[in-house]
Amino acid sequence: MSAVAGAASTGYSHQEVMRVITGVLLCIFLAAIDQTVVIPAVPAMAADLHGFTHLSWVVSAYLLTSTAATPIYGRLSDTMGRRALLLPALVVFTATSVLCALATSLPQLILFRALQGLGGGGLMAMAQSAIADVVAPRERGRYQGYMAGVWAIASIAGPVLGGWVTETFSWRWIFWINLPFGLAAMVLCERGLRLLPVRRQTVRIDWIGAVLLIAAVTAWLLVLSSGGIEMPWLSPPLLILATAGIALTLALVAHERRARDALFPRRLFANPVFLRGVGIAFCGSFGLFGATFLLPMFFQLVDGADPAGAGMLIAPFLGISCAGALGAGQLARRLGRTKTILLGGLATCIVGCMLMTLLDAGLPRYLAALITLPLGFGIGVIMPSSIVIVQNAAERRDVGVATGSLLLLRSMGGAFGTTAVGALLVARATGGLAAGRPSTLAGLDPAVLVGGFHIAFIACGVVLAIAIVLALGMRDLPLRATNEPVAATH
């Protein structure tokens, strides 16, 4: 089947598909580069704004708010259209980038990053939903090269650019560069997404569910970031936080079961393929963001690299993940199924996490960069595959909310990943609360730091092993060549 015929199966010509994709590719670029450009600059941000305390929240705050925003974007876009939601998201994202650049304290920066996440949460959700509108699941591999290419450029350029800009100018410029890209994305999306139909229907937004979700995730992240570091695990304040997290989670589940227009539609969560797909996405994101948070810190704090050098050293890890995504898309198109591909990617991830425990202060830098490749490749395989699995199992009317729900769980996995590995690293490096939390990790014994990094990488491997269990029990649905759903009732 030609690319034109594949596109026609969804009612769009190849030229129309490319017009839509061109508009959303820049949104994917913005979403990808904003996740990685910040990471090499985190130590400089913390030093400039006086303190390393809760430095992981510079990343996690963005992920937290984008987590809550994605299902709302998905639900609204199914009724109002992708264009009506994507353009406001771009405005919010671009405007808050300016606020981040002007931040004068770490709490301010964390707050502005949280606001930026409200806009950023719509970029990937709307981009992935728009692509699903015009390209059937089995044919998505034909166009995945464009998406993987843009993701590769952004992923590789992000840490390199972030490190170079931080060292040469200031970390603030990594936010200023969002302005021209944001404006260009607005123009392209305004034109391209006019092609997509709007199927309007009356839907009430589950604001109570969104509030409960934010509160529950915040409580759990506070437990992870504070436990064993700022307070003992069995201290009354931490136990109260954990109890609140449990209560809020149960309240969210109970509310979603009886809500008329639930944030998480019951028909989706009655679908076992969807459930396992989002679970795998959660675990994969935990490993991805955990590793991308740890690696530049390892190269700077243990190996002595500068921010630009650290960015260069993690570029192969991010670049090979895009190669994995491209290969997975092409193989899925040939096989017409994804389960075997997914299992192979997860197995590669676990091997990669174990190899990460070989990282040491005396290891040559080129060898350290090579060690990161298996995990990067495996992550590249499983992340787009989980999206295709979920969209393939969802009804056409639910593509937006299904995509938003998956990205919500994926963002939660990233937030939990960065917070958990950061907590493990600091707890191991400083001896927990007994040693007191330092204002900087720089200057600590590299041998002690290395042990903390190894424990954090093992934790990523354990979470990815859980994903293998989920994938083994998942029904291997054939990828459909149209946008009509495949039954997944068992």
Please tell me whether residues 249 and 266 are part of one structural domain. no
Cα 142 to Cα 7: distance, rounded to the nearest angstrom: 10
pLDDT at 3: 43
Please tell me whether residues 343 and 463 are part of one structural domain. yes
**Is 236 part of any domain?**
yes
Q: What Cα–Cα distance (Å) separates residue 393 from each residue in 269, 484, 485?
A: 11, 10, 6
Per residue in 178-188, pLDDT (tens digit) is 888 888 888 88
Dihedral over Cα of 392, 394, 398, 402: its sign: negative
pLDDT at 7: 46
Please tell me whether residues 92 and 48 are part of one structural domain. yes
Averaged pLDDT of the chain:
78
Residue 116 has pLDDT above 50, yes or no: yes
Please tell me whether residues 415 and 383 are part of one structural domain. yes
Please tell me whether residues 227 and 295 are part of one structural domain. no
pLDDT at 246: 94
**Is 477 part of any domain?**
no
Please tell me whether residues 186 and 230 are part of one structural domain. no
**Is 490 part of any domain?**
no
8 pLDDT band, cuts 50/70/90, is very low
Residue 351 has pLDDT above 90, yes or no: yes
Please tell me whether residues 212 and 99 are part of one structural domain. no
b (16+ CB within 10 A) / e for 283-316: bbbbbbbbbbbbbbbbbbbbbebebbbbbbbbbb
Please tell me whether residues 246 and 286 are part of one structural domain. no
Counting beta carbons within 10 angstroms of the beta carbon of residue 402, is it exposed (0 to 12), middle (13 to 18) or buried (19 or more)?
buried
**Is 177 part of any domain?**
yes
pLDDT at 144: 64
Q: Identify the domain containing residue 83 by its residue range.
A: 3-194+261-472
Any idea what the CATH number is for the domain that residue 149 is in?
1.20.1250.20
Please tell me whether residues 190 and 213 are part of one structural domain. no
**Three-class HEC string of the chain:** CCHHHHHHCCCCCHHHHHHHHHHHHHHHHHHHHHHHCCHHHHHHHHHHCCCCCCCCHHHHHHHHHHHHHHHHHHHHHHHHCHHHHHHHHHHHHHHHHHHHHCCCCHHHHHHHHHHHHHHHHHHHHHHHHHHHHHCCHHHHHHHHHHHHHHHHHHHHHHHHHHHHHHHHCCCCHHHHCHHHHHHHHHHHHHHHHHHCCCCCCCCCCCHHHHHHHHHHHHHHHHHHHHECCCECCCCHHHHHHHHHHHHHHHHHHHHHHHCCCCCCCHHHHCCHHHHHHHHHHHHHHHHHHHHHHHHHHHHHHCCCCCHHHHHHHHHHHHHHHHHHHHHHHHHHHHHCCCHHHHHHHHHHHHHHHHHHCCCCCCCCHHHHHHHCHHHHHHHHHHHHHHHHHHHHHCCHHHHHHHHHHHHHHHHHHHHHHHHHHHHHHHHHHHCHHHHCCCCCCCCCCHHHHHHHHHHHHHHHHHHHHHHHHHHHCCCCCCCCCCCCCCCCCC
**Is 457 part of any domain?**
yes
Yes or no: say if 449 and 304 are a contact pair by the CB < 8 Å rule.
no
**Is 128 part of any domain?**
yes
Please tell me whether residues 294 and 419 are part of one structural domain. yes
Per residue in 372-427, pLDDT (tens digit) is 999 989 988 888 888 888 888 877 777 777 887 887 788 778 778 877 887 788 77
Highest mean pLDDT (candidates 129-133, 209-213, 481-485): 209-213
Please tell me whether residues 332 and 375 are part of one structural domain. yes
**Is 489 part of any domain?**
no
Q: Which of 260, 283, 306 is the last residue of a domain?
A: 260
Q: Please choose, from the candidates 318, 295, 316, the residue with its C-alpha nearest in 3D space to the C-alpha of residue 307.
A: 295
For the chain, the distance separating the N- and C-terminal CA atoms, rounded to the nearest angstrom, is 30
Per residue in 416-470, pLDDT (tens digit) is 887 788 778 877 766 653 433 444 555 566 677 888 888 889 999 999 999 999 9
Cα 316 to Cα 371: distance, rounded to the nearest angstrom: 10
pTM of the model: 0.74
Yes or no: say if 61 and 113 are a contact pair by the CB < 8 Å rule.
yes
Angle at 284 between CA 252 and CA 131, to 5 degrees: 85
Q: Which of 243, 260, 277 is the last residue of a domain?
A: 260
pLDDT at 228: 61
The token pair that represents 18 in the structure block: 């490319």
Total Cβ atoms within 10 A of residue 162: 29
Q: Which of 260, 278, 304 is the last residue of a domain?
A: 260
**Is 404 part of any domain?**
yes
pLDDT at 442: 56
Residue 5 has pLDDT above 70, yes or no: no
pLDDT at 387: 83
Per residue in 140-168, pLDDT (tens digit) is 666 666 776 677 677 667 777 777 888 78
Yes or no: say if 281 and 406 are a contact pair by the CB < 8 Å rule.
yes
Residue 17 has pLDDT above 60, yes or no: yes
477 pLDDT band, cuts 50/70/90, is confident
How many domains does the chain fold into?
Answer: 2
Please tell me whether residues 266 and 256 are part of one structural domain. no
pLDDT at 463: 92
Cα 75 to Cα 172: distance, rounded to the nearest angstrom: 34
